[in-house]
Amino acid sequence: MIERLAQQLTEFDPQSGVIEGAPIIERRLSDLRGSFADREAYETTLAEADPVIYTVALVEPAQGEGALHYGLGRIVPGRIGAEYYLTKGHLHAWRPAAEIYVGLSGEGAMLLEDERSGESRLLSLLPNSVVYVPGFSAHRTINTGSTLLTYLGIYSAAAGHDYSFIAGRNFRQVLVELDGQPTLTERSRFLASLQTPGANARHE
Ligand code: F6R
Ligand code: MN
């Protein structure tokens, strides 16, 4: 009989977000306090319901140097105000650790922000596409479509998660729907536009 690591072979169901035998992390709207720019829209929505925004099924077949972990992410479609449903976002605790995201279904994007330069980058996350997230990059996944967004994230077992950056000041940019289109804009500019009804958050 051939011996193998537990979870050396898994099967996943993107629709349900389930990987057999893998624990699932569930993030509800109430877990995402502070993640969305429009606080008023957040509180209004939360007062009515606390839906699951995303799940991640985690597979950790091995630990230690050289080992890999991966997660099956599944973000439902929707918005808080103009901002699309998103993941909290994080840096890796081991900063040089990169990550590979493989798009499975739906339409989305990855927002990257280099911790050292502050530079932002928005990359499409689509089926049959692969996004390389370099080390030292805060990364967040966003569902810009009207269906489930599902993807695999594959990373070093030593990467770890650091959410303090996001809890502190959030990403510099927000991805919002403007004139029916996903539009990347500066958070400060978007926040200012919320204070001034009729103002346009678009860069001009
Ligand atoms: C792991 C990774 C993904 C995310 C998942 C949920 O390093 O990047 O598996 O963990 O997309 O996002 P967060 O962790 O930001 O809630
Ligand atoms: Mn990551």
Q: What pLDDT is stored for residue 47 in this prediction? A: 98
Residue 54 has pLDDT above 70, yes or no: yes
Q: How many CB atoms lie within 10 A of CB 173?
A: 20
Closest atom of ligand 1 to CA, residue 70 = 9
Of 197 and 8, more confident: 8
Question: Does any domain span residue 100?
Answer: yes
Question: Does any domain span residue 2?
Answer: no
Question: Does any domain span residue 167?
Answer: yes
Give CA–CA dist 46/174, Å, rounded.
Answer: 20
| Residue to substitute in 87, 92, 104, 137 for testing ligand 1 pocket (most ligand atoms within 8 angstroms of CB) | 87
8 Å CB contact between 174 and 184: yes
Question: Does any domain span residue 6?
Answer: no
Closest atom of ligand 1 to CA, residue 27 = 16
Q: Which domain holds residue 110?
A: 12-195
pLDDT band at residue 6 using 50, 70 and 90 as cut-offs: confident
Q: What is the number of domains present in the chain? A: 1
6: helix, coil or strand? coil
Q: What pLDDT is stored for residue 151 in this prediction? A: 98
Q: Whose CA is nearest to atom 2 of ligand 1?
A: 153
Residue 204 has pLDDT above 80, yes or no: no
Question: Does any domain span residue 49?
Answer: yes
Q: What pLDDT is stored for residue 25 in this prediction? A: 98
Question: Does any domain span residue 80?
Answer: yes
DSSP alpha helices (H): ranges in the chain? 39-48, 164-169, 187-195
User: What CATH number is given to the structural domain containing 96?
Assistant: 2.60.120.10
**pLDDT for 9-20, tens place per residue?**
999 999 999 999
Question: Does any domain span residue 1?
Answer: no
**pLDDT for 125-155, tens place per residue?**
999 999 999 999 999 999 999 999 999 999 9
Question: Does any domain span residue 204?
Answer: no
